[in-house]
Structure 1
Amino acid sequence: MKADIETLATGLGHPEGPDILPDGRIVMVETFTSRIIAWSPTRGIHDYANCGGGPNACRLGSDGAVYITQNGGTAGTWRAKVMSVPSIQKAWPDGSVEIIVEQIDGYKLQAPNDLSFGPDGRLYFTDPADYDPEDRGLGRIFAVNPDGTGELLDEIPAAFPNGIVAEAGGTIVWVDSYEGGVYRLRPGGKSEKIAQLPEGHVPDGLKIDVNENLWITTYTGGGVDIIKPDGTYIDFLKTGGVPLNCVFEGENLIITDFGDIDTISVAEPMEGRLWRIPVGVRGMELFRGAIA
């Protein structure tokens, strides 16, 4: 199906990982400016916080803070003007930012990518190495407890775990950008492949609707793959561009898009867009949590 796209903002520098704030604003990261930004109908795009480095995604916590996956300041050949350390950060509404996790269970974080609170209050996130299909590193999935401690849940050779989302039953679903696989991780288990996306559809972010179906943005596929919980393919929402991540807003899907280019370079192309697309289905309510 073809998307009916409403463009809310343009000229964005690698926008990613959107969420909805309590006042209805859309919050997201802008990797190329090392900022957290927000959008509203009255204010348009405006600053929320400057976190330095290379923020990859953000998620609203139950404490009112926005939690951020910080890769340290890299994206392909791009490097941030002010580098940070690979970590989980926390940005408050007053613009203050703090690093809350740099290592877990003896593992230094590599380049945290996407994150999701689970029904147990823990923060789950993907931690791939640098994106290099010719020299694939070791991908990891971590969980952080409310007290700041955590554990390594899974370690996957030659994988790039990217988008991640928590299901209602406490399982985690994540996508691998190298092979286009969709995986489910059960508590205490190992990741199991549940679906293979079509050739040329490289997955990035994903969310779940009220019917428990997965909506997966594919940045080389130009749209969103929709699959059932068991991996059965349902449909493809064609958007064009390079959709990176998404979040439901009522019966709309909010998408952060890289633009009409597909190469991340040192040029910092500011061609990203923020889209709103009516899809006729509501998203599953996202879980919220807080890390001390």
Structure 2
Amino acid sequence: MDMELIAEGFEFPEGPIALADGSVILTEIKGQRLTRIHPGGRRETVVETGGGPNGAALGPDGAIYITNNGGSFQWLDNAGMTIPGPTPPSHKGGMIQKYDPKTGVLSTLYDSCEGKRLVGPNDLVFDRHGGFWFTDHGCSTPEGRKFGALYYAKADGSHIARQRDHLISPNGVGLSPDEDVVYVADTQLGRLWAFDVAEPGVLKPPESFAPGRVVANLPGYQLLDSLAVEASGKVCVATIINGGITVFDPEGATEHHPFPDLIVTNICFGGADMREAWVTCSATGKLFKARWPRPGLKLNYNG
């Protein structure tokens, strides 16, 4: 696959948003900011967020919505690579933030649901109705993990609902082209889940004991991160340890596209034909652009 290094020197980049003018906005989790990379390589800080900004997406009002984990990682250096470590004792929880580029105002939209504090919001995707699905990754503790969850929320701050609880480490989230399935990648399990949608913002009840349908489990020790969906319905999931993008067919078959980083964290699609793939390689702090073999699914809201 042809790939081009666009920029480097980021502090654990994630959450890329491909804009119509050819620029890309991404989060820097360790750097606690959103950064814009213009065509030609010029970069600018969009907003300092604090905490740990992870996923980012444009909403129906043109604002940028951010899943912020609240600083749920200590940062380790391993042979020059930046590695996310245990959750620090200072961590109190995360939040959903909203940044309005017109006014420059950054606000907290949600930090709890039904009286329970969000732990580590991770990734989000907007549906065609203007609401968004988001994952809470949970976090580590000295006694073990706090569970994660899958939520649905409205962009105006009026509604948030926990749709699946007690998930191990939910990370990437995306919608099928007809939006009748929510896909969630579980990091620690190396598993892609599929959750069937009953109506906008509501999942169908789970069958039997499983919280959802298993699309596939990766063999050996491979970890999954954030994702994007192709126009064909295939799900492209950033993969850690086996660094690259693993493409899951909804029927369970997989293919792997390697990228030069141990910790590949996210992918988004853009360009006139939706075949420009922007990939964040986080341990080395780099952003690549690749010519993808198939078009990506156009998101509901694009800049």
TM-score range, shorter chain: 0.7 to 0.9
4+ long deviations beyond 4 Å: 77-80, 82-85, 131-134
Q: Is the 8 A contact 2:87 2:140 kept in 1?
A: no
Identify the residue that residue 262 of structure 1 maps to in structure 2: none
Q: Give yes or no for the alignment of 1:256 onto 2:256.
A: no
Q: Is the 8 A contact 1:217 1:223 kept in 2?
A: yes
Task: Give secondary structure in 1 for the equivalent of 2:30.
Answer: helix
**Which of residues 43, 46, 57 in structure 2 aligns to 1:45?**
43
Identify the residue that residue 221 of structure 1 maps to in structure 2: 242
Distance (whole Å) between structure 1 residues aligned to residue 142 and residue 247 of structure 2: 25
Identify the residue that residue 86 of structure 1 maps to in structure 2: 94
In the alignment, structure 1 segments of 5+ residues that lack a partner are 260-270
Identify the residue that residue 112 of structure 1 maps to in structure 2: 121
The verdict on how the C-alpha distance between 1:24 and 1:84 changes in structure 2, with shifts beyond 3 A counting, is farther
Distance (whole Å) between structure 2 residues aligned to residue 142 and residue 112 of structure 1: 10
Q: Amino acid of the residue matched to residue 260 of structure 2?
A: G
Q: Give yes or no for the alignment of 1:184 onto 2:205.
A: no
For residue 18 of structure 1, report the CA deviation from its aligned partner: 0.6
Identify the residue that residue 225 of structure 2 maps to in structure 1: 204
For residue 192 of structure 1, report the CA deviation from its aligned partner: 1.9
Q: Amino acid of the residue matched to residue 92 of structure 1?
A: D
Q: Amino acid of the residue matched to residue 256 of structure 2?
A: F
Task: Give secondary structure in 2 for the equivalent of 1:33.
Answer: coil
Q: Is the 8 A contact 1:118 1:287 kept in 2?
A: yes
Alignment of 1:1-292 (within 5 A): 3-42=1-40, 44-76=42-74, 77=85, 86-94=94-102, 95-131=104-140, 135-148=144-157, 149-157=159-167, 159-170=168-179, 171-187=181-197, 188-189=203-204, 190=206, 191-233=212-254, 235-241=255-261, 242-249=263-270, 250-259=274-283, 271-288=284-301
Higher RCO (CA-CA < 8 Å; seq separation 6+): 1
Distance (whole Å) between structure 1 residues aligned to residue 237 and residue 143 of structure 2: 24
Q: Is the 8 A contact 2:226 2:237 kept in 1?
A: yes
Relative to the length of structure 1, the TM-score reads 0.86
Q: Amino acid of the residue matched to residue 96 of structure 2?
A: I
Relative to the length of structure 2, the TM-score reads 0.83
Task: Give secondary structure in 2 for the equivalent of 1:186.
Answer: strand
For residue 78 of structure 1, report the CA deviation from its aligned partner: 7.5
Q: Deviations over 1:146-172 (max 9, x none)?
A: 442121100125x00001011223221
Aligned residues: 273
Task: Give secondary structure in 2 for the equivalent of 1:136.
Answer: strand
Task: Give secondary structure in 2 for the equivalent of 1:203.
Answer: strand
Q: Identity across aligned pairs (percent)?
A: 27
Q: Is the 8 A contact 2:275 2:293 kept in 1?
A: yes
Task: Give secondary structure in 1 for the equivalent of 2:62.
Answer: coil
Q: Is the 8 A contact 1:9 1:44 kept in 2?
A: no
The verdict on how the C-alpha distance between 1:79 and 1:44 changes in structure 2, with shifts beyond 3 A counting, is farther
Distance (whole Å) between structure 2 residues aligned to residue 49 and residue 161 of structure 1: 26
The verdict on how the C-alpha distance between 1:134 and 1:202 changes in structure 2, with shifts beyond 3 A counting, is farther
Aligned-residue CA RMSD (Å): 2.3
The verdict on how the C-alpha distance between 1:180 and 1:238 changes in structure 2, with shifts beyond 3 A counting, is same
